Amino acid sequence: MNDVAVLKQALPYIRIHKGHTFVVKLGGNVVRDTKAARSLAGDVALLHHVGIRVVLVHGGGPQATDLSKRLGLTPDIVNGRRVTDEQTLEVAKMVFAGKISIELLSHLRRERLRAVGLSGVAGDLVHAVRRDIQRVKDHATGEWRDVDYGHVGDIVSVDTSLLRTLLDADTLPVVSSLGADDEGNVFNINADTVASALARDLPAEKIITLTDVPGLLEDPEDPGSLISALTCREADAALADGRIRGGMAPKVGTLVEAVRAGVSRAHIIDGFEPHALLLEVFTRRGHGTMIVRRDKAGASG
């Protein structure tokens, strides 16, 4: 396809999406790869400059694990959720609201974007409570256990008025996945959960998750078995029968929640594939896996 054809294909999507809000969630593996992070910053800049309002939400699990090990701490992760004791919370604060946020802001500044880094603690953005002790079946061992997740929070509510103020001022918010309760106690919160809650409240037209896989696969060992689109009901069935499992299960669950709450479409795409974000937004073919409410009709973008 020549350059003119590419531009002509993109134009209708630019018209459709201009003025709408996208929540883009960056996985920790994508963020820590400098080449991938810089490329994504360039793609986000293009979205911004054609009038799409973008909120970035980032994880940082791999970076938190790396720093924990360097400090002599042994990470305890149950079914994709990090148990967060006092020391691990300090690591989360340093990594999420510090190192990763600053690195992302520097990549965006390189693209001449005005961006602001903030955590869910800022501006009453994410109101959470400490998670109760839960009895869960450990996917790794198959055993049931009572898990005290420590300083892990469950979201009670979000207030996105600060994000809307920043977006109205042509500023791009970069949100790290921490929250707090009324007493100022800080909690580690799953970044996919934060992104979904913010997307629902804004409200966003799209929520896009960039991860280290091509999307949802029928066979996790076969990259060619990509599921290009599925409905919320189909996603529910795949979660229930175990076809979607491991760390992908909670990710898909939060995306389904967002779509059912009014977000038009949710997407899982490969953050290491050059310009996958732009291909998803501006082309008919799209990229990765799309989750919709009722049917798969209609083009991507």
**Among residues 187, 183, 133, which one has the least CA distance to residue 155?**
187
Helix axes 61-70, 86-94, angle to 10 degrees: 120
Domain range holding 191? 3-292
Answer yes or no: is 26 within a domain: yes
Answer yes or no: is 42 within a domain: yes
How far is residue 59's CA from residue 3's CA, in Å, rounded to a whole number?
35
Top pLDDT among 224 and 13 is at 13
Answer yes or no: is 211 within a domain: yes
129-152 average pLDDT score: 89
Answer yes or no: is 299 within a domain: no
What digits encode the pLDDT tens for the residues 14-56?
Answer: 999 999 999 999 999 999 999 999 999 999 999 999 999 999 9
Answer yes or no: is 297 within a domain: no
**Among residues 120, 87, 85, 88, which one has the least CA distance to residue 101?**
120
300 close to 284: Cβ distance less than 8 angstroms: yes
Answer yes or no: is 55 within a domain: yes
The count of structural domains within the chain is 1
Helix (H), strand (E) at residue 280: helix 276-282
pLDDT band with cut points at 50, 70 and 90 for residue 244: confident
CATH number of residue 16's parent domain: 3.40.1160.10
What digits encode the pLDDT tens for the residues 198-228?
Answer: 999 999 999 999 999 999 988 777 878 899 9
Answer yes or no: is 52 within a domain: yes
**Global pTM?**
0.92
Tally Cβ neighbours within 10 Å of residue 294.
9
Answer yes or no: is 301 within a domain: no
What digits encode the pLDDT tens for the residues 100-123?
Answer: 999 999 999 999 999 999 999 999
